[in-house]
């Protein structure tokens, strides 16, 4: 049954059966990956017990847009159902996106990158602040800020983290490294050696310390090069005076903390 002839008032906030082909995906669905095994297990449960909770939808032209319950919808399709129970809501695009995110987070169905991307979308597209998002999702503002920081990782880094089952703490630890090249280098070692979070953090700290030592060496080397240039300038000046017939000379005295140069230029006496 499609219920296209029903008035809006008869559909809103009521449980009705809707033709499964009339339900379209939510464009704001924050969850991007669904495991086949997970959907198969839910389908098996549905075959035994039926659909225990209605899907949330909203009217969208001649169709119904899914707000929450995509796992149930996929499992119902796998079971061969033609109609599914739904609650029809009258809400805006903004509130539909918020409800989809909240439903997924409450059920812990999102990966931490999907969650971060969805939060960013709420803030960017729907004009929410981090404080607004935190209030809607029942989280601390600092938690929201930390989630958003994960999006600083490149798509390649995120793919590797998800592929090899690394945790959100692994991902946050990598953010201590500013360079994507450094992060990839560390990430490869973490995956190769199957490092836990603590060992990953130690590896990163050692890497940062090594980078600081290299930077310090380069700085000292640059200073040394500048001193060498200055010494060469003095020697060149002495040679120039000597070539002009002025018996000038210079003496270099190397001390522990400094180099001392004594330059002697005779005074030409007027006869």
Q: What is the pLDDT of residues 26-56, one digit of tens each?
A: 877 777 677 788 889 889 998 988 888 888 8
* Pairing outcome for strands 23-24 and 259-264: unpaired
pLDDT at 223 over 70: no
Taking alpha carbons only, the member of 33, 27, 28, 26 closest to residue 158 is 33
Average of per-residue pLDDT across 185-212: 92
Across-strand partners of 84?
Answer: 18
Half-sphere exposure (Cβ direction) of 1: Cα atoms closer than 13 Å: 8
pLDDT at 170 over 70: yes
Give the Cα separation of 62 and 10 in Å (integer).
Answer: 15
Q: Which residue has the higher pLDDT, 103 or 1?
A: 103
Task: Write down the pTM of the prediction.
Answer: 0.58
Across-strand partners of 249?
Answer: 264
DSSP conformational letter for 19: E
Q: What is the pLDDT of residue 152?
A: 95
pLDDT at 22 over 60: yes
Cβ contact 182:207 at 8 Å:
yes
Give the Cα separation of 169 and 201 in Å (integer).
Answer: 9
């Amino acid at each position: 049954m499609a219920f296209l002839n029903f008035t809006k008032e008869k559909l809103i906030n009521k449980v009705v059966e809707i033709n499964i082909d009339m339900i379209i995906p939510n464009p704001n669905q924050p969850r991007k990956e669904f495991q086949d095994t997970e959907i198969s297990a839910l389908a098996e449960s549905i075959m035994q017990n039926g659909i225990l909770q209605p899907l949330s939808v909203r009217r969208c032209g001649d169709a119904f847009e899914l707000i929450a319950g995509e796992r149930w919808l996929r499992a119902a399709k796998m079971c061969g159902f033609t109609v599914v129970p739904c609650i029809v809501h009258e809400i805006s695009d903004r509130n539909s996106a918020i409800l989809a995110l909240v439903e997924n987070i409450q059920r812990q169905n999102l990966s931490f990158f999907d969650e971060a991307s969805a939060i960013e979308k709420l803030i960017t597209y729907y004009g929410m602040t981090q404080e607004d998002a935190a209030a809607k999702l029942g989280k601390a503002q600092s938690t929201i800020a930390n989630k958003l920081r994960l999006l600083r990782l490149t798509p390649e880094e995120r793919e590797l983290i998800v592929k090899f089952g690394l945790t959100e703490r692994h991902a946050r630890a990598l953010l201590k490294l500013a360079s994507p090249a450094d992060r990839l280098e560390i990430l490869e070692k973490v995956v190769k050696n199957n490092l836990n979070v603590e060992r990953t953090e130690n590896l990163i700290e050692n890497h940062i310390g090594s980078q600081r030592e290299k930077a310090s060496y380069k700085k000292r080397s640059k200073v040394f090069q500048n001193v060498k240039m200055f010494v060469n300038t003095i020697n060149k000046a002495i040679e120039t005076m000597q070539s002009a017939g002025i018996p000038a000379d210079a003496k270099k005295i190397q001390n522990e903390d400094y180099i001392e140069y004594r330059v002697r230029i005779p005074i030409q006496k007027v006869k």
